Amino acid sequence: MKDQTERPIQNTIAVFIDFENIYYSSLNNFGEEPDLMIIRGLCEKKGGIASIQAFGDWVRFNGQINSLLTSGIQPVFTPLSRTEKSSADTFICVHAMKLFMQNENIDSLILVSGDRDFIPLLNELRSLGKKTFLMGIPGSISRDLVNVADGLIDYQPAKIKPKESKTLQSPQKKVSEQIENSIITLLKKENRRVNVATIGIMIKKQHPTFNHKEFGFDKLSQFLDSYSQIKVDYDEDKLVAYASLVK
């Protein structure tokens, strides 16, 4: 007979995923797409999930929709602005406030993002007595954002390959040269700074087994910066890396 004192897990957590942010951060730091099941599992350790949604431009990230649905994550479409900037932060703020105002039993937010633009959202929810947690990749989360959250959950893939020597073998040298030529061609064509994560996607399409850690670099941005004709700079928060040609 079931113990009458046993209580079901309360679904008191709402999870909002800034998909573009975690996707590019994972590519830049680990050389692979984020594992959505790991993200969900980390969230479940905090308690029962009432809602878990991923916000992104699903035209650009169409290939990830099946993985989201398989992981039990609801995709919410957020179109790009006219300047091709993600509008996910605006959508997340509106949806989050609406959800918390309409559901008093939900008392915790897990925000999967490192963007400092979410500081007002976290401050507002904390003023309402809600708990706020951040999930992201170490080194890719705004320090100002961390300072206003109640807790931090570090994301990393199940297996991280050990750092190897920067001394390249012949096959690696050939791949490295091919990659350099492709990047230079892209940068000449675009004639502007290009997001390092966008370059990472291009590299993975041409070389599916590529991982910058096998070349001895912790981050993709460091790998690209090792080329003499390519320079890498960052946005003001030093979270997003951009590549351009050395002039």
Domain spans in the chain, listed from the N-terminal domain onward? 11-154, 170-245
Question: If you average pLDDT over residues 74-94, what whole number do you get?
Answer: 84
Cα dihedral: 66, 113, 244, 223 (round 10): -80
Task: Give residue 3's pLDDT.
Answer: 52
CA distance 230 to 187: 9
Residue 9 has pLDDT above 90, yes or no: no
Strand 241-245 and strand 194-195: the pairing is: antiparallel
Please report which confidence band the pLDDT of residue 84 belongs to, taking 50, 70 and 90 as the band edges. Answer: low
| Segment 36-52 mean pLDDT | 94
pLDDT at 32: 84
Rounded to an integer, the average pLDDT of 151-164 is 72
Q: Give, in degrees to the nearest 5, the angle at Cα 67 between 53 and 46.
A: 45
Q: How confident is the model at residue 166 (pLDDT cuts 50, 70, 90)?
A: very low
Residue, of 86 and 78, whose pLDDT is higher:
78
pLDDT band at 167 (very low <50, low <70, confident <90, very high): very low
| pLDDT number for residue 82 | 64
Name the nearest CA neighbour of 224 among 232, 214, 216.
232
C-alpha 53/C-alpha 60 separation (Å) is 17
Q: Could you count the other beta carbons within 10 Å of the beta carbon of residue 159?
A: 7
CATH 3.30.365.10 fits 170-245, yes or no: no
Question: What is the value of pTM for the model shown?
Answer: 0.68
Same fold, 11-154 and 170-245: no
pLDDT, greater one: 167 or 75: 75
- What pLDDT does 73 receive? 96
Q: Does 119 have pLDDT greater than 90?
A: yes
φ, ψ (nearest 5 deg) of residue 162 = -65, 150
Q: What is the mean pLDDT of the chain?
A: 84
162 band by pLDDT with thresholds 50, 70 and 90: very low
At residue 8, does pLDDT exceed 60?
A: no
Top CATH class, 11-154 = alpha beta
CB 149 within 8 A of CB 122: yes
Residue 226 identity: S
Both tokens assigned to 165: 């020597």
* Distance between CA atoms of residues 29 and 239, nearest Å: 11
Rounded to whole angstroms, the Cα distance separating 148 from 56 reads 24
Using an 8 Å Cβ cutoff, are 125 and 93 in contact? no
